[in-house]
Chain A
């Protein structure tokens, strides 16, 4: 197992700058997630670590040893791909043994057997060892692909969207299994995904990647509660966070915000919070972007004190709960509601923000300014760090 470092790694494919100065420090035994939209450069980072791609600039280090010129075979990394890449003519057992039987690792059969049995037990696939890949379901194939990586003792596991090919139900189940397995394994693992639930659930830390750059690195909680900009905030959470332009008025004793709803001004007092108030008195913004998650937007179908009026754009179930989308002029608000309500489209809905969960962003730069209860979330992140 090893500590993996990238220092200012750059990589271009023709005119496209795929990686634009990536620096990472993945600790030994850490489960590190690379998360971002398609085309962000996540897989290229993985390939640079594996040695499949050569960085144009910058350094890749394993335990402080520079690896740039070491070929992939001698880096001792184990990769798990989205398409399982199993040998179709070999049984599961032989697939798992293949790397150990190679010239490079030449392990004796008794030890191979012992390691395979251990990996099979960890992956709960002891009953599959005699089968051919064609006799396996997709979930089982992915398990074998991971099992094959486990039998070795690599410096690092590199996993490239290993669950992306599975259907939703299986993906959830495998994610949970993987989480349980990871706890038993104690190995360095770098995991690429574009699914925020996978990133949140699995990662000790997450790096948000966009357009070849690192946007933010932190624990799931840090990134969810204190996103460094609106891009990150919108990636984390489903349905995504509501972002509304808000004018700020008041003094350091009392602040209020004004938002436009269907052309009319709606004024809301900002609840007192030492962090938010001192930040506002320090930078004195006229306009901010208010970020508020759908579960912190409350609704009523009767006029109510402190609620503003909008119209229902749609009401849809998302499984265990539903989303009401409200039309507010040039933007829409999404809010969580229970299933089975009788909501007519285009009817009136009354809305209130739970402002004590709000996150504020700079209206120009779209970067994080401050949020409610910031101190407690910093403490939460620090506690996780200590673990």
Chain B
């Protein structure tokens, strides 16, 4: 059963009052998405891509221009937010400052007129889950950011919603607290098995938390798939460069045919990489496209390597790993190594690129060029 279905969803903000005509005025454009019951879906994209608008439409906080939203089997287009049976956790915690943590968590149930013992049972049940059992008597001002966000989430899930919506719940936290909180959310969702939609602009959060990721740009869905799918099999250049840190190296290339073997070549560089055989049907001599390869698929060859000799432009020792940059034309091609050797700028290394791991993208549209099946 589907937990949430978005059917041809559109959103256009009314700009009639503004002097300037905005060209691309659809904030969300023809969005189709099906989240299975209990699935954790991340909406991922750069700021202004329409991910929060989508979430607000699901919550009922924003009118929809066209399309249908189903929560479970119910069409909710015309339902009030309070009747949609959803839990909300936003970036800012919006707690009631005069109430202690217990009061904040219990607030919704009290408002609904649930009886006191039932409320108490539920609060005591959820508190250890969110690790707020020793905070129940504290006032919101006494809490750290991470604690506040835990209370905030506890408040959203105590209503046992059909659908949990979270909008960047971690973005206020600093690095360490965020790392810990990510782990907590992951465990919690695993336990309560509630269908969840999670908005973030941080690819790492999406990759680490979600069962499936919907990548959105300019209001248009770019790809919807599991973390492994969007990482290994990106639909286009945008997805390829948005997922992964450091991002995929993407270089403009001209493919040449040398005695029956195709090679990627690059302007102002003597680097040549063999084109995987599976692309032979779609490329030709002089074919121009973009080549993408992840930094971990670029290797340093040993002493008898047949790779191209290249000078190191940048060497960054990051402790856990080391990153090396090589100039290919005016693009800096990055590679990652965990080996302990220290290089210097100007050192020459043999570069080996795992040709079989390369992706091709159309030079104009950025769409993936795939091999023929």
Contacts A180-B325, A295-B320; A317 near B207 (Cβ below 8 A): yes
Interface size classification for chain A: 35 or more
22 A–B contacts, CB within 8 A, in A order: A167-B46, A172-B247, A176-B316, A176-B332, A180-B313, A180-B314, A180-B332, A196-B318, A200-B316, A201-B318, A201-B323, A220-B317, A238-B179, A293-B320, A314-B183, A314-B186, A314-B187, A316-B183, A316-B208, A320-B294, A320-B295, A345-B187
Please tell me if A367 contacts chain B, counting CB pairs below 8 Å: no
B108 → chain A closest CB, angstroms: 28
Measured between beta carbons, the chain A residues less than 8 angstroms from B366 are none
Give the CA-CA distance A115 to B118 in the complex, in Å: 74
Give the CA-CA distance A332 to B210 in the complex, in Å: 22
Scan B255-296; emit 1 where CB is below 8 A from any A CB, else 0: 000000000000000000000000000000000000000111
Contact of A221 among B202, B244, B316, B317 (CB under 8 A): B317
CB atoms of B186 and A295 under 8 A apart:
no
Scan B28-71; emit 1 where CB is below 8 A from any A CB, else 0: 00000000000000000010000000000000000000000000
Give the CA-CA distance A65 to B325 in the complex, in Å: 40
Please tell me if B227 contacts chain A, counting CB pairs below 8 Å: yes
Those 6 A-B pairs whose CB atoms lie nearest each other, nearest first: A316-B208, A201-B316, A224-B319, A317-B207, A319-B245, A314-B183
Scan A161-179; emit 1 where CB is below 8 A from any B CB, else 0: 0000001110011011101
Please tell me if A197 contacts chain B, counting CB pairs below 8 Å: yes
Contact of A317 among B227, B241, B314, B336 (CB under 8 A): B227
Contacts A175-B316, A220-B319; A239 near B179 (Cβ below 8 A): yes
A-B pairs under 8 A by CB, number: 95
CB atoms of A316 and B182 under 8 A apart:
yes
Measured between beta carbons, the chain B residues less than 8 angstroms from A293 are 320
Measured between beta carbons, the chain A residues less than 8 angstroms from B319 are 196, 200, 220, 224, 236-237
Contacts A172-B246, A176-B325; A295 near B183 (Cβ below 8 A): no
B248 → chain A closest CB, angstroms: 11
Measured between beta carbons, the chain A residues less than 8 angstroms from B336 are 320
Contacts A314-B186, A317-B207, A320-B244; A183 near B345 (Cβ below 8 A): yes
Give the CA-CA distance A200 to B204 in the complex, in Å: 21
Contact of B209 among A177, A316, A325 (CB under 8 A): A316
Q: Which of B174, B183, B203, B345 has the most CB of A within 10 A?
A: B183
Please tell me if B144 contacts chain A, counting CB pairs below 8 Å: no
Contact of B318 among A169, A197, A240 (CB under 8 A): A197
| CB interface residues, A 320-336, toward B, < 8 Å | 320, 322, 325
| CB interface residues, B 152-197, toward A, < 8 Å | 174-176, 179, 182-183, 186-187, 190
| CB interface residues, B 221-256, toward A, < 8 Å | 227-228, 231, 241, 244-247
Binding site for B on A (CB under 8 A): 38, 124, 167-169, 172-173, 175-177, 179-180, 183, 196-197, 200-201, 220-221, 224, 236-240, 293, 295, 313-314, 316-320, 322, 325, 339-340, 345, 380
CB atoms of A201 and B186 under 8 A apart:
no
Contact of A168 among B245, B294, B325 (CB under 8 A): B245
Measured between beta carbons, the chain A residues less than 8 angstroms from B325 are 176, 180
B335 → chain A closest CB, angstroms: 12
Give the CA-CA distance A24 to B246 in the complex, in Å: 34
Please tell me if B125 contacts chain A, counting CB pairs below 8 Å: no
Give the CA-CA distance A237 to B338 in the complex, in Å: 13
Measured between beta carbons, the chain B residues less than 8 angstroms from A179 are 314-316
Binding site for A on B (CB under 8 A): 46, 174-176, 179, 182-183, 186-187, 190, 201-204, 207-209, 227-228, 231, 241, 244-247, 294-296, 313-320, 323, 325, 330, 332, 334, 336, 338, 342, 345
CB atoms of A313 and B183 under 8 A apart:
yes
Give the CA-CA distance A293 to B319 in the complex, in Å: 11
Of all chain B residues, which has the CB nearest A203? B317
Measured between beta carbons, the chain B residues less than 8 angstroms from A38 are 174
With A172-B246, A238-B175 known, 17 other A-B pairs at CB within 8 A are A38-B174, A168-B245, A172-B245, A179-B315, A180-B332, A197-B316, A200-B317, A238-B320, A316-B209, A317-B204, A319-B207, A320-B244, A320-B294, A325-B183, A339-B227, A340-B228, A345-B186
Measured between beta carbons, the chain B residues less than 8 angstroms from A239 are 179
Q: Which of A236, A293, A319 has the most CB of B within 10 A?
A: A319
Measured between beta carbons, the chain B residues less than 8 angstroms from A380 are 342
Measured between beta carbons, the chain A residues less than 8 angstroms from B295 are 320
A339 → chain B closest CB, angstroms: 7
